[in-house]
Chains A and B, each alone.
Chain A
Amino acid sequence: MTKRIRSKISRGSGEIAILSLLAEQPLYGFEIAKQIGERTNGALKFTLASLYPLLYEMEKRGWVEAHWQANAAGRDRRYYRLTPGGRKQLAPLREEWRSFFQALDTLAGVSHA
């Protein structure tokens, strides 16, 4: 049960992290993982194994869409961008996490600020 709860929290945090990043600009998988790591000072870390199943799941739900594009060096990358459906998900997800942290703060003095 503990593992399941941890897994759900981790999955939920992954979804909001990816949606928030893609709300700013389209990114490819490696860059998504890199930016999440850098912008959270390594607190959130995505590997190939954790990132792509989540991205594919979000793509299936219609929250993100992807297209191939070559960079200047001719290297192919699959860029993800937020769909209108994904953008709609972002606000309620943010609200859910805000409530979650407030509840934790009330209960255990764990503040997200």
Chain B
Amino acid sequence: MRDWQQFTRERLETCPLPAAERDEVIRELAAHLEEGYAQACLEGLSDDEAFKVAQQEIPQGESWQVLAADICRAKQENSMNIRTKTVWLPGIAILFAAGLGLIFLDRAAYLQRFIWIACMAMLFGAADSEKNRLSQRTRSFWLPGFVSMTAAAIFLFAADIAYEPFLFFREITLHPQDLLRMNTDSLRASYLVWLGAQVVFGALGALFSRRAGGTRTSRIAAGSFPAVIIVGTYVVLMPVTSMFSGQAATSPLPAYLTAALLVWVAAPAVAVLLGAAPFIRESNKSRIAESC
């Protein structure tokens, strides 16, 4: 005798509905599975075959985590949380605009960092307020990616302060020549420690993504988020900053640019992917859930 309620409960444990509501959903879905199983048995299928028929209620390529998210979204009210509307979103918009302006103008580097951290904190606050309405992609890619990236950024700031405090509070530019200025032992040590830590941040992103039921692609993307953002910085911010600060004429030498790409893009990318690698494989638990 199969316990369909237990079967369903194990697979919907991530569904963040109030307990009574979740219990009712589990009861109803379990009854549906049981009915399909009983009908298949009546048609002469063996126990195992009937069990497989019942499992096909979750089509291949979909998962129970996706179903749980769909059910939550269907059951939740559509209106946005009042705190999100009045606090988080306006706060994020103001900070984001201010931070972007400072980046383009290449001013107040230390302030940019605090603004950036505050912005990410507010974003996580908003995600928490709206957790029942988040799509599966947000849960398994965007949020783990932002967590990984924010952890990497905070660590970089902390390493700066620990190794070269005076650099943290001075104007910095995004010019490759400056990014490659590692002329002291403490700067080199700071970089190496930060690079080593990327392994942890890659692992963090991929782990959170896996816990949220992310696909293999989501896990790789979430784990490599910090490196992707650095690439974005190179492709978008550096040229724009050069233009705004009137330094376009002193365009970076190709050799500097290549070296900076290797140091700040390629090396961290390899490090985050190394960290993410153990979590890219399917866990036993998710393999069971996916197969059902």
Chain A contact residues, CB within 8 Å of chain B? 28-30, 33, 47-49, 52-54, 56-57, 60, 75-78
Interface status of B23 (Cβ within 8 A of chain A): no
In the complex, are the beta carbons of B32 and A30 less than 8 A apart? yes
Closest to B75 in A: A56
In the complex, are the beta carbons of A47 and B71 less than 8 A apart? no
Residue in contact with A49 in the complex, picked from B24, B31, B34, B58, CB distance below 8 Å: B58
In the complex, are the beta carbons of B58 and A60 less than 8 A apart? no
Residues of A close to B71: CB separation below 8 A: 52-53, 56
In the assembled complex, 30 residue pairs joining A and B whose CB atoms fall closer than 8 Å, in A order, are: A28-B31, A29-B28, A30-B36, A47-B58, A47-B59, A48-B33, A48-B57, A48-B58, A48-B67, A49-B59, A49-B62, A49-B70, A52-B25, A52-B29, A52-B32, A52-B67, A53-B70, A53-B73, A53-B74, A54-B74, A56-B71, A56-B74, A60-B77, A75-B34, A75-B35, A76-B27, A76-B31, A78-B24, A78-B27, A78-B31
In the complex, are the beta carbons of A53 and B67 less than 8 A apart? yes
Cβ distance B35 to chain A, nearest Cβ, rounded Å: 4
Closest to A73 in B: B38
In the complex, are the beta carbons of B67 and A78 less than 8 A apart? no
Interface status of B6 (Cβ within 8 A of chain A): no
Interface status of B259 (Cβ within 8 A of chain A): no
Q: Which 4 A-B pairs have the closest CB atoms?
A: A48-B57, A56-B74, A53-B70, A57-B74
Interface status of B56 (Cβ within 8 A of chain A): yes
* Bound Cα distance from A57 to B66, whole angstroms: 16
Residue in contact with A48 in the complex, picked from B29, B73, B74, CB distance below 8 Å: B29
| Per-position 1/0 for B73-90, Cβ under 8 A of A | 111010000000000000
In the complex, are the beta carbons of A75 and B31 less than 8 A apart? yes
Cβ distance B55 to chain A, nearest Cβ, rounded Å: 10
Closest to B35 in A: A30
Pair count A-B, CB < 8 A: 57
Q: Which of B28, B56, B70 has the most CB of A within 10 A?
A: B28
Residues of B close to A30: CB separation below 8 A: 31-32, 35-36
Chain B, 62-112, CB within 8 A of any chain A CB: 62, 66-67, 70-71, 73-75, 77
Beyond known contacts A53-B70, A53-B71, A75-B31: 19 more, CB 8 A cutoff? A30-B35, A47-B59, A48-B57, A49-B57, A49-B59, A49-B62, A49-B66, A49-B67, A52-B28, A52-B29, A52-B32, A52-B74, A53-B74, A57-B74, A60-B74, A75-B34, A76-B27, A76-B31, A78-B27
* Bound Cα distance from A60 to B28, whole angstroms: 16
Cβ distance A77 to chain B, nearest Cβ, rounded Å: 6
* Bound Cα distance from A73 to B114, whole angstroms: 65
Residues of A close to B75: CB separation below 8 A: 56, 60
In the complex, are the beta carbons of A77 and B62 less than 8 A apart? no
* Bound Cα distance from A78 to B25, whole angstroms: 10
| Per-position 1/0 for B32-67, Cβ under 8 A of A | 111110000000000000000000111100100011
Q: Would A48 and B66 be within 8 Å (CB), given that A53-B74, A56-B75, A60-B75 are in contact? A: no
* Bound Cα distance from A52 to B15, whole angstroms: 14
Closest to B62 in A: A49
* Bound Cα distance from A30 to B74, whole angstroms: 19
Q: Which of B56, B57, B58 has the most CB of A within 10 A?
A: B57
Closest to A78 in B: B28
Residues of A close to B70: CB separation below 8 A: 49, 53
Residues of A close to B67: CB separation below 8 A: 48-49, 52-53
